[in-house]
Amino acid sequence: MSNYRTIELDRHAGIFKALSSPHRLQIFSLLAGCCESGTGTRCSTDEVMKYCVGDLSSRLNIAASTLSHHLKELHRAGLIEMQRQGKQIFCSINPSTLAEVSALFTNASQTPFITLRTPMDHKNADDIRQNVRASYSQVAEASNSGDCCGETSSCCGVSSDDAINTLVSTRLGYSADDLAAVPNGADMGLGCGNPRAIASIKAGETVLDLGSGGGFDCFLAAAETGEQGHVIGVDMTPVMISKARDNASRGLYHQVEFRLGEIENLPVADASVDVIISNCVINLSPNKARVFAETFRVLKTGGRLAISDVVAGTELPDEIRDDLQLYSGCMAGASLISELETILADCGFSEIKISPQDESREFIKDWAPGRGVEDYVLSASIEAVKPGGCRP
Ligand SMILES: C[S@@+](CC[C@H](N)C(=O)[O-])C[C@H]1O[C@@H](n2cnc3c(N)ncnc32)[C@H](O)[C@@H]1O
């Protein structure tokens, strides 16, 4: 580094600053061709992929205004090039900056300096979601027909045996009263914590449950909001939604409704929710930045997140990260705590608090016996607040 000139130092620091956001890394990774093969236009002269901005927005699930801000930052740092062609703007990687930064790490400018990975980067986000949906359809159907999937119940398996589900949920901190209060079949032992315990739900509030499954946490939340409140469960698996609606009508929960949809594209109005709960779901999303951006959109100012989820305490090895079954089982998709903190801060959340629960490794080891997943992932509570508004 002795011959490192100040001017280079400043420029390189600017490059790393520009890359210090999950959205910008996502964009950069796609333009650099580090992800799945693109549908962009390969320019025959320089072999660089060019993407039209509109395509990038839908492909990466990033709102156009947010995308334009991030593209400007990447462009300012010299990482990408932007070109207007007719009415459209095309962007591409700047090969010389890429090679230059590459040399910093490898002394061999031919070697890509960064191999950015998305979970299972050979799969695209929709493939992952379809796989997760198929798994939870099976879970709901098995539960409906009373088929038992295994000796133990877990985030990925379901037991028709109420005694097993009770055991699992009691381990997560639900009381016998909680379990007795909900319609039969609502608790499928699919959680990894008890988000309601940290949500401080008040009478009359609007609660949103991400990935509501059979509606277990929604029904418990409804007891706290009372008839004047409103509880919305969102789930992308149609069989789960049907099951939850059936449970709601059997339990006469008039203030609870279930909406079919993806948590990355919430079917919920802007600034309409007081508290968002979720139990063991966000780890299943291939686009967590998008999920948290959506939670920020739908929360009222002063609204809060009270989430239980599986997180990674340390980087996952490839044999775990690339295992589709472990992904649907709420293990392989877990993000590092530091990544989640960055995503939440980037979205604008304040009072961010992620509290890993070491003792959860004990039950997580039963989710995939012998695989050693508990060495990497554990359950955590995730809390944050959308700033503004008056809170007592
Ligand atoms: C592990 S289960 C948890 C269910 C429920 N929260 C509970 O504790 O019983 C995960 C649920 O999230 C849903 N899910 C997974 N990914 C989702 C996504 N991207 N959008 C909406 N729902 C999703 C699944 O269909 C499934 O019902």
113-119 mean pLDDT: 43
Asked whether residue 94 falls in the same domain as residue 140, the answer is no
131-143 mean pLDDT: 91
**Final residue of a structural domain among 38, 72, 106:** 106
Asked whether residue 96 falls in the same domain as residue 132, the answer is no
- At position 275, the amino acid (one-letter code) is V
Domain count, the chain: 2
249 in helix, strand or coil? Answer: helix
Residue pLDDT, tens place only, 217-266: 999 999 999 999 999 999 999 999 999 999 999 999 999 999 999 999 99
- At position 241, the amino acid (one-letter code) is I
For 360, phi then psi, to 5°, come to: -65, -20
Pocket test for ligand 1, best of 172, 284, 364 (most atoms within 8 A of CB): 284
Question: What is the chain's alpha carbon radius of gyration, rounded to the nearest angstrom?
Answer: 22
**Final residue of a structural domain among 106, 134, 168:** 106
Are the C-beta atoms of 288 and 180 separated by less than 8 Å? no
Domain CATH code at residue 274: 3.40.50.150
3-state helix, strand, coil in the chain (%, to 5): 45, 20, 40
Residues above pLDDT 90, as percent of the chain: 54
Confidence at residue 165, expressed as pLDDT on a 0 to 100 scale: 64
Higher pLDDT, residue 376 or 169? 376
Asked whether the predicted pLDDT for residue 47 surpasses 80, the reply is no
Mean of pLDDT over the chain: 84
Asked whether residue 153 falls in the same domain as residue 36, the answer is no
The residue whose CA is least distant from atom 12 of ligand 1 is 211
Q: Is the CB of 241 under 6 A from ligand 1?
A: no
Asked whether residue 225 falls in the same domain as residue 176, the answer is yes
Is residue 111 one of the residues assigned to a domain? no
Domain CATH code at residue 70: 1.10.10.10
Asked whether the predicted pLDDT for residue 273 surpasses 70, the reply is yes
Asked whether residue 183 falls in the same domain as residue 305, the answer is yes
Is residue 116 one of the residues assigned to a domain? no
What DSSP state is assigned to residue 188?
-
Q: Which uninterrupted H or E stretch holds 278? A: strand 273-279
Q: Is the CB of 237 under 6 A from ligand 1?
A: yes
Measured CA distances, 70 to 13, 32, 39, 226, 296 (Å): 17, 15, 21, 43, 18
Residue (of 32, 178, 157) closest to 99 by Cα position: 32
Are the C-beta atoms of 98 and 110 separated by less than 8 Å? no
**Largest pairwise CA distance in the chain:** 74
Asked whether the predicted pLDDT for residue 180 surpasses 50, the reply is yes
Asked whether the predicted pLDDT for residue 114 surpasses 60, the reply is no
Q: Is the CB of 191 under 6 A from ligand 1?
A: yes
Is residue 266 one of the residues assigned to a domain? yes
Is residue 390 one of the residues assigned to a domain? no
Residue pLDDT, tens place only, 309-351: 999 999 999 999 989 999 999 999 999 999 999 999 999 999 9
Q: Is the CB of 136 under 6 A from ligand 1?
A: yes
Asked whether residue 92 falls in the same domain as residue 153, the answer is no
Residue with tokens 């139990």: 279
Asked whether the predicted pLDDT for residue 153 surpasses 60, the reply is no
Asked whether residue 76 falls in the same domain as residue 133, the answer is no
**Ligand 1 atom having least distance to the Cα of 330:** 1
Neighbour-count burial for 16-53, b at 16+ CB within 10 Å, e otherwise = eebbebbbbbbbbbbbbbbbeebebeeeeeeebbbbbe
258 in helix, strand or coil? Answer: strand
Asked whether residue 168 falls in the same domain as residue 71, the answer is no
- Return all residues near 7 (Cβ < 8 A) that are at least 6 apart: none
Residue with tokens 């740092």: 77
Higher pLDDT, residue 172 or 220? 220
Is residue 321 one of the residues assigned to a domain? yes
Asked whether residue 69 falls in the same domain as residue 129, the answer is no
Is residue 112 one of the residues assigned to a domain? no
Is residue 349 one of the residues assigned to a domain? yes
User: 213 C-alpha to center of ligand 1: Å?
Assistant: 5
- Return all residues near 54 (Cβ < 8 A) that are at least 6 apart: 64, 88
User: 212 C-alpha to center of ligand 1: Å?
Assistant: 6
14-39 mean pLDDT: 76
Confidence at residue 119, expressed as pLDDT on a 0 to 100 scale: 47
Are the C-beta atoms of 202 and 176 separated by less than 8 Å? no
Q: Is the CB of 211 under 6 A from ligand 1?
A: yes
- The pTM of the whole model exceeds 0.85: no
- Return all residues near 377 (Cβ < 8 A) that are at least 6 apart: 310, 311, 312, 313, 316, 331, 334, 364
Confidence at residue 124, expressed as pLDDT on a 0 to 100 scale: 77
Q: Is the CB of 236 under 6 A from ligand 1?
A: yes
Give the domain range for residue 347. 125-385
Q: Is the CB of 344 under 6 A from ligand 1?
A: no
Asked whether residue 239 falls in the same domain as residue 367, the answer is yes
User: 369 C-alpha to center of ligand 1: Å?
Assistant: 22
104-126 mean pLDDT: 52
- Return all residues near 10 (Cβ < 8 A) that are at least 6 apart: none
Residue (of 244, 206, 247) closest to 225 by Cα position: 206
Are the C-beta atoms of 334 and 227 separated by less than 8 Å? no
Higher pLDDT, residue 169 or 141? 141
Q: Is the CB of 182 under 6 A from ligand 1?
A: no
Q: How many CB atoms lie within 10 A of CB 231?
A: 28
Asked whether residue 239 falls in the same domain as residue 297, the answer is yes
Confidence at residue 152, expressed as pLDDT on a 0 to 100 scale: 42
Asked whether the predicted pLDDT for residue 92 surpasses 60, the reply is yes
Q: Is the CB of 285 under 6 A from ligand 1?
A: yes
CA distance 297 to 254: 26
**Final residue of a structural domain among 75, 106, 137:** 106
Is residue 15 one of the residues assigned to a domain? yes
Asked whether residue 88 falls in the same domain as residue 215, the answer is no
Asked whether the predicted pLDDT for residue 62 surpasses 80, the reply is yes
Q: Is the CB of 174 under 6 A from ligand 1?
A: no
Asked whether the predicted pLDDT for residue 151 surpasses 50, the reply is no
